[in-house]
Structure 1
Amino acid sequence: DRWTDFNHSDLGVVLLDLFCGVGDMLAYYLDAQAAEAFLPTARQRQNVINLCKLMGYRLDSPVASTTTLRFRLSAPLGKDLTIPAGTACRALLNDGEADFETVEDGLIPRGVLSVDIPARQGVRRTETFTSTGLPFQRIRLTGDVIAQGTITVTVGDDAWSEVDHFQDSLADSRHFMADLDALDISTLIFGDGQSGAVPAQGSAIAVSYLQTIGDQGNLGPNRITQLLSPVYLDGGQVPLTVTNPVPATGGASREALEHARRQAPAELRSLWKAVTLEDYQALAEGYPGVAKAKVLDTNACQNIRYYNVQLAIAPNGGGMPSALLKRDLAEFLERRKVITVEITLFDPIYRPVSIDAEVYIWPGEPLENVRSRIETALTDFFSFDEVSFGQTVHFSDLVALIDGVRGVSHMHLYAPQQDIELRHGEIPVLGSVNLDLRRAG
């Protein structure tokens, strides 16, 4: 006998549909499991974090912006004035505020009116815990937007240092690890008494860190104007004004998965040592606060025994890198470079590309609407995340971009008239835009 009743209400059809549905679901789960097992195809953040750990790479938590704060007296003092590290200042935003704190002591000598001090964005938070005395003790922090590299731990009166792993830690090494999960929750991990010391049972553990607003802390100059922490001299408060003469740059949200997929293999190839020019670029681009890096590859050192690696860097969000970011990056690379190499860091050069075009619009399309679409397309094309050091701006790409905007019939591009080739340390940015809109005949 043959089964001939294919009506949707037939029990056999219902069972067949169920079998097909279950089979399709199982196939999806099998494909998803296979995809999540490899870094290029993994989509869930926790799986990407775990795969990167296998290569010794940790995804960055949100990065705090950095700047330079200028503290100024109204009149010179007869004594030296010390502005302590951790002095808090504030910038008012349209929808809140951005707090900054100095990262080191600053000194205004007597007779001098001002001093510049590097600062980092964030609000200082402190949590206290009690040690259990057990190996691999784990402490979960309550802060959810902890700035990368700002966690400090004190056990009793002793300061402990953060490390990436316990592989090189001795039994008495005061080390801890900071583990970040997919929900941006940080967990501190201590050693087991063989690889890293164990905090004594009952000892007080004080954890301090900065909570940051990430890329929202990238501010223009002269935005930080409020002094939150009073400064004293001989028991009396000293009136001070504060501002940031340079922009606050380098702030970023947590590391994107696409960036981790590119950066983790690049750093693994370098073995976290700077030997080749590619190593310097990979390590610099992986440093928190740095968005783009380019080795200029010119030997400008006067001493023939040394090779000088010239490295141009651009911070997260664009702009110029702060003095603090360049100093920290230089120290980071100094620990990883070959002893005979000297490193020079350069600011990026932003080269404007001006657009002059005659654009013909289809009848019925509002001219100003099309103008807005073209300007938006150009802005997106030259956005900081879409360009790179030394990128060639092709004439044909600009023509295709404008010609492809909805409402455009055809166009003539008068500037630029050819491909624009940039040097290694240059990044293209959108310059002036002149659009002559006309109706298509």
Structure 2
Amino acid sequence: MTETLHYGQTRRARLRASGRNGLDAVEVDETGLVLTVLLYGKAPEDLGPEHFRITGGRRITGIRVRTAELLSPEDPDLEDRVRLNLDRVGDFATYTLHAVTAGPDGVPTGQPHPAFDPRYASLDFSFKQHCPTDADCKPGESSQGTDLPPAIDYLAKDYSGFRQLLLDRLSLTVPDWRERRVPDLGIALAELLAYTGDRLSYKQDAVAGEAYLDTARERISVRRHVRLVDYPMHDGCAARTAVHLQVDRPIQLNPGEFRFITLKPGILPGQAAVTEAQLRAAHVPDGSYEIFEPLTPDGLCLHEAHNRISLWTWGGEQTLLPPGTTSATLWDCDLQLAPGDLLLFEEITGPATGRPADADPAHRQVVRLTGVTPAVDPLYDNEPLLEVSWDRADALTFPLLIATDREPGCPPLEVSVARGNLVLVEHGRLLPREPITVPAPVLKRGPVTQHAAFGAPEIVAEQQARLVARIPARARGFVRELWAKVRDGGTLTEPETTRLTVLFGRKPLARLGRDPLGTLVRLLSDFDEFLAAKLRRINVLTRRARRGVVLDEGIAWELEQSWGEGCELDPRRPEFLGPLARNLPTDPRTALPAVLLRDEDGNTWTPRRDLLDSGPADRHFVGELDDEGRLHLRFGDNRHGRTPRTEDNLTAEYRIGKPTAGNVGRDTITRLLTRQRTIAGINRVRNPLPGKGGTNPEPVSQVRDRAPVEPTTRLLRAVTAEDYATLAGQVRGVQRAAAALRWNGSWYEAQVAVDPLGQSEPPPELLDTVRDTLRHYRKIGHDLQVGAAQLVPVDVALEVCAEANHVNAHVRAALLKALGGNGLFHPDNQTFGEPVRAGRIIATAAALPGVRGVRLTRLQRLFAPPAGELDRGLLPLAALEVAQLDNDPARPENGRLTVTVRGGR
């Protein structure tokens, strides 16, 4: 702290200019025994302790200066300082330091030192400068002749407020400047500073607002906020459809050289395949058509026989494929179909008129084949056929009429056909490679296409699980074929013996050379025992794949070494893409930017929704869409994802397109577009199905409403029986599920019953999938048991009075069909704990034509005495029980239906 007495600026300035000296300030150290005196100029050379005198004080007086040390600064332009050592410390009173002359005896006198100005030869100070105080150490200034400083407006946040604040400050610091006209340079500078302050203030407010979901305005901020609560905000999704090509010769299309466009019919007529050069020559603007890229990673092989494939009716016995059909028979006219190929079922003529214009365009459906088996029809000269099948998810959604009879003597009218040469396409224009800058690049063009999952890992893993699970059955079939061969007198070849050795080892085959038939019989009878370890490994791999883990090529090599046959597990196989219903239409929440980054070494960087699961060496990035439609790329931090270097020289290859522009109508995609090669032999290009799935980015307002609520509706842990039933019911292939918590004496056991879709008994793989799924959610301390529903066979008897104009046998047949296992008591019509109501049975029977009256005579559990169900009109069931009434004579234990019809004819 420094104390300085101000007597007047004019005298002080003249004092400095005259070279005379004076006391400017006094500093007291923390001990209070040392004073540092700041002088106005150079100190006299003979200055000593006898030239300083201290007066004042209340309790402590007579303080003496022991020594005086001159402190000359290194800079000659600075003033000197004198350090004074005192004999004691003063009190809280005010003291005065005097610069005086010395007497003959070396004692300070009361006369001012001749080298010091009389006005500045003394200076007041305090020994308690370092004591804490609330008072301002600066002496108050006289208010005479001066104005109070303007109050600073700390609430100024905009341009006008900052401008006024600067002008008020300038009026204080530069009182002589009073110019306020706009052209003045000072005004211009003040306004420039106010503008800068306004921008900074806006950024401060924006940053504070982006910190909260309710106030955030930037789309990227909202996306990151809702990611914290596991809400998958989506940025839109591209549309997809299937394209059919009609050719007159075999054609091979290489990957990356062809696309499809929606070109108007009047442009380049008669050409189904055009090149980019032809479009430029025809002056076709780029924005006048939409582009669809093929989704298949491989090329496309087209065959003339796939243009139109006739459905085999087995001599007119199968003229209709009902809804829910998952198989069909094709006439094999040199077909090259394989599992994984797409097949179109299409109505080509009107059934009533026979005219193509009357065909129902809604009767078109594309399926992905899962099985292709050659066959023949021996009644028609062994006509070559193909039995094709597809997944239940792709089951027909409408009745497909194959053929219908016309006038007598005329051949049947072919109403519907199948077509191959199909490819799945996605909307979006592929751009040339674009160099980008790191670490936070922004793609120049947009909107960037959002590509939904195609060949999603869970779908690929599910198909791999099916393939791995079939390996033991194929191995057993191989041994059975060898047994039949040896039984009929054949001998084993060297490759067959080698495969048996790989399967069972050398020890079980020790007698193969002497007794091959007996050895094979033993291998078949003890198949599970010999291969117990391998079967356990198959079970482990199958369950791992059913949980969504994609098996790699290392597993394929292991299976080949263990089972003696190749097991292709490449995720890019067409049959691993799953049913078309799971790829078309698309889910925008699984969509990622269609962007691929490459560096100069050929390494690729792929998009991810976030980098939480990325390792330090993973070349992943996140694409974030801003409010202007530009895509920002965000990389990792070398902990979660790798950070690219500037010298990597990344380039981006991406597609653009407005999402909803891909929702084109059927038969709108009309041309195949190649980059350079001219392709001959393509007669027609069309999309039999409309484009679907094109979705705009999710609005921020909608995200704000849904994100805080959705996590509360999502089950994260199974605690109650209802929780287990709800989570089990979400597994694909489960129609309904029920659960109950049972106390087993030590802890609770969650018993879950599964009702499969379209079946009465759940397959083992479905039970394994449900069990593995629930293990992630079960409460600690709960055991888990998953099984089929407890089917309760029902015994029902009816007495029906038929109308006089109806045949009672026909009425009875209609009743058995309506009430049996394919009608009212179909597995999909019954659920857990739902009682069997007499009123529902009577109502179903009474609604049939020819039924005049209905009386229920028996309603009870099969093989159980009646318990008053008929009187109550209700057969109650427990929580895990499902009613069963198949009325199958081959399986009478599955329920019995007795119908007695009276009256009629």
Question: What TM-score comes out, normalization by structure 1 length?
Answer: 0.49
Bigger relative contact order, structure 1 or 2 (CA pairs below 8 A, ≥6 apart): 1
Work out which of the two has the higher radius of gyration on C-alpha atoms and give 1 or 2: 2
Greater fraction of residues in strand:
1
Question: What TM-score comes out, normalization by structure 2 length?
Answer: 0.26
Greater fraction of residues in helix:
2
